Amino acid sequence: MRKRFARRKMQLNSILKEALAMNKPLANHHVVICLIVLSVLHTGCATLIKGTSEEVEFVSNPPEVEVYVDGNLMGTTPVKLKLESKKVHQVELKKEGYDAMAFVVTKHVGMNWFIPDLVFWPPISFIRDAESGAWYSLDFNHVDASLRKVGQPGTKESAGLPRSEEVEKLSLSTKRTAYNSFYFEAGGNAVVASFNYDRLFGESFAGRVGLGGIGNEYGGGVVAVPMTLSRLLGTGAHKFELGAGAIYAREYWFWEVNNYLSLTGIVGYRYQPKTKGGVFRVGFTPIFGFNPEEGVLFFPWGGVSFGVAF
Higher pLDDT, 170 or 56: 56
**Domain match, 231 and 280 both:** yes
Residue 207: name the closest of 186, 172, 181 by CA.
181
Considering 11-20, 114-123, 264-273, the range whose residues carry the highest mean pLDDT is 264-273
pLDDT of 187 > 60? The answer is yes
pLDDT of 164 > 60? The answer is no
Residue 213 has what pLDDT? Answer: 84
Which range is least confidently modeled, 81-85, 115-119, 188-192? 115-119
Final residue in a domain of this structure, among 175, 200, 228: 175
**Domain match, 162 and 284 both:** no
**Domain match, 169 and 20 both:** no
Confidence of residue 23 (pLDDT cuts 50, 70, 90): low
What value does the mean pLDDT take over residues 150-162?
A: 52
- Cβ neighbours of residue 271 closer than 8 Å, sequence gap 6 or more: 237, 238, 239, 278, 279, 280, 281
Tell me the whole-structure pTM to 2 decimals: 0.61
**Domain match, 161 and 185 both:** no
Cα-based angle 75, 78, 83 (whole degrees, multiple of 5): 55
Q: How many domains does the chain have?
A: 2
Per-residue pLDDT reduced to its tens digit, 45-63? 555 566 678 889 999 999 9
CATH code of the domain in which 39 resides: 2.40.160.20
pLDDT of 291 > 70? The answer is no
**Domain match, 103 and 250 both:** no
Percent of the chain exceeding pLDDT 70 equals 66
Confidence of residue 15 (pLDDT cuts 50, 70, 90): low
pLDDT of 172 > 90? The answer is no
**Domain match, 151 and 123 both:** yes
- Residue pair 88/60 in contact (Cβ under 8 Å)? The answer is no
Residue 211: name the closest of 200, 199, 222 by CA.
222
What value does the mean pLDDT take over residues 261-266?
A: 92
What value does the mean pLDDT take over residues 97-110?
A: 86
**Domain match, 25 and 120 both:** no
**Domain match, 183 and 305 both:** yes
* Backbone φ and ψ of 49, nearest 5°: -90, -50
**Domain match, 77 and 170 both:** yes
CA atoms within 13 A of residue 230's CA, in its CB half-sphere = 29
Decide: residue 208, CB within 10 A, 0-12 exposed, 13-18 middle, 19+ buried. buried
Decide: residue 296, CB within 10 A, 0-12 exposed, 13-18 middle, 19+ buried. exposed
Higher pLDDT, 219 or 138: 138
* Region of residue 134 (phi > 0: left; psi between -120 and 50: alpha; otherwise: beta): alpha
Confidence of residue 106 (pLDDT cuts 50, 70, 90): confident
Residue 214 has what pLDDT? Answer: 80
Which range is least confidently modeled, 48-62, 219-233, 234-248? 48-62
What value does the mean pLDDT take over residues 29-37?
A: 52
Domain that holds residue 92: 51-133+142-175
Spell 115-140 as b/e; 16+ CB within 10 A means b: eebeeebeeebbebbbebbbbbbbeb
